[in-house]
Amino acid sequence: MVKINILPLRHITPPQVLALGFACIIFFGTFLLTLPISSEDSSPTSFINALFTATSATCVTGLVTVDSGTHWSKFGEIVIIFLIQIGGLGFMTMGTLIALLSRRKISLKERLILQESLNQTSMEGIVRLIRKVLLYALVIESIGGLLLTIRFAYDMPFGQALYYGIWHAISMFNNAGFDLFGPITGPFSSFTSYVSDPLVNFVVTSLIILGGIGFIVIADVLEYRKRKSIKLSLHSKVALSTSAALLLIGTIVIFIFEFSNPNTLQPLDWGSKFLASYFQSVVPRTAGPNSLDLTALRQATQFFIIVLMFIGASPGSTGGGIKTTTFAILIGAIVTIIRGKDNITIFRYRLAQDRIFKAITLTVLAMFLVVFVTMILSTIEDAQFLKILFEVTSAFGTVGLSLGLTPELSVLGKIIIACMMFIGRLGPLTLAYALTPKKEKELFKYPEGKITIG
């Protein structure tokens, strides 16, 4: 009899723990969603649709093969929102909450995993940060839920308004993009009926922005407001400035491209035009709801949204993409080369070489992944290239915006998109670290060589 050596649990690296943990949550959610009690008509949901929905919820994406509001029962909707909360905050964060409530000591191994899940460079103060993460999430979701409840109460009974308010606040803060408006305004309608509503627009976008800038930034800003003597960290400055620039540029570009489009902005008044442009600039960062019909957007606008989705949110947040800080480093590298300088300098700080290499590696890996999957889906699916690229980038960035292709995908296509959402949530580098053996120290170096560039 041949003995099979299984890797002991203590030898599993933090990236591997994260990958396995998310996979376990997804499959448990899939099991619950296949149960007859989870669907509105009390019939079992197909395994592939349940798997896709569980993956999308856990990876806080928002792409769906069935309309969330009309297909799922209350039980199914609660399963989805729990998956969103766990996936958004991270299963290790939720596990830490249980440990803190039970007064159990957080081990070194668990601290390493928490460090990996929050994209931190150090374990110092990691448990304290987790406490802040949980507190911020509870406060922000509660305030958002209350404001949405007040607004929805004008359109529906108070009980339903309260349920919708809390449910959508959790979904939006975790940048998931799931919505339940199907029974009211039609399947896959999202927030299109609230395109001119200032309260809904600003509450939803505020929840998305707060969830997307990262818990480290929120903690840093609040600490700065308390004690003016403390300076914002370089990470916070880069994340905030890049996010603000992308939101401003995005709003202006979408407004210009769609201003004369009779199917989107043209019928709206000036205030609603800016509101809709701002909303659609925020959601690719990486939330997923929409207030305009995305299929009616001009192709230039759709492609611009693809770029925003690829960049995504900030590190340590509920969003995906290559992240705003990575994008800032790439822009910094371009400016440095053009100016003939040797070092990338941002806010009077010189960036370490390993940070630059990591940013370039992450971006190239992400681009190769998106291009490769787009090519595969273009071969097996009968759809326009831009639609496929839009859907693939949305899955990678865990955005959830869709041009209507996802429900029409074949079983293989749905599996591929589900895998993209999984990779996008973990991050290409984290997944690569999880699948590669432990790094060994280099014992020697090769002689330096030069290659002509350009």
CA diameter of the chain: 77
CB atoms within 10 A of CB 49: 20
The per-residue DSSP string of 57-76 comes to: HHTT----SS-HHHHB-HHH
β-strand partners of 345: 350
Cβ atoms 434, 18 nearer than 8 A: yes
**Token pair 């280099």 is at which residue?**
442
The reply to whether 4 falls in a domain is: no
Average pLDDT, the chain: 83
Range of the domain at 310: 13-430
Q: Three-state DSSP class for 260?
A: coil
Query: Is residue 140 situated within a structural domain?
Result: yes
Q: Do the Cβ atoms of 311 and 398 come closer than 8 Å?
A: no
pLDDT tens digits along 277-333? 999 999 997 788 888 999 999 999 999 999 999 998 887 777 788 889 889 999 998
Residue 117 has pLDDT above 70, yes or no: no
State the Cα–Cα distance between residues 177 and 186, nearest whole angstrom.
16
Q: How many domains does the chain fold into? A: 1
Residue 446 placed within a domain: no
Question: Tokens 């989805």 correspond to what residue?
Answer: 80
Q: For residues 172 and 85, is the Cβ–Cβ distance under 8 A?
A: no
pLDDT band at 136 (very low <50, low <70, confident <90, very high): confident
Angle 158-173/74-89 helices, nearest 10 degrees?
30
- Domain contains 312: yes
CA distance 334 to 28: 45
Q: Is the pLDDT of residue 224 over 60?
A: yes
Overall residue count recorded for the chain in this entry:
454
* Of 167, 139, 161, nearest in space to 78 by CA: 167
**Per-residue pLDDT, 111:** 54
Look up residue 387 and give its two tokens: 């639609």
Q: What is the pLDDT of residue 98?
A: 47
Q: Please report the sign of the dihedral spanned by the C-alpha atoms of residue 144, residue 149, residue 154, residue 160.
A: positive
- What pairs with residue 349 in β-bridges? 346
Listing DSSP states for 364-424 in one string gives: HHHHHHHHHHHHHHHHHS-S-HHHHHHHHHHHHTT----SS-GGG--HHHHHHHHHHHHHH
Is 444 inside a domain boundary?
A: no
Percent of the chain at pLDDT > 90 equals 50
Residues contacting 448, CB < 8 A, separation 6+: none
Amino acid at 175: N
113 belongs to a structural domain: yes
Rounded Cα–Cα distance for residues 141 and 174 (Å)? 9
Give mean pLDDT, residues 147-157.
Answer: 94
pLDDT band at 336 (very low <50, low <70, confident <90, very high): confident
Distance CA 130, CA 94 (A): 9
Return the amino acid letter for 77: E
pLDDT of res. 5: 44
Domain for residue 440, yes or no?
no
Say if residue 253's pLDDT is above 80.
yes
Q: What is the pTM of this model?
A: 0.86
From CA 254, how far away is CA 9, in angstroms rounded?
49
222 within a domain of the structure (yes/no): yes
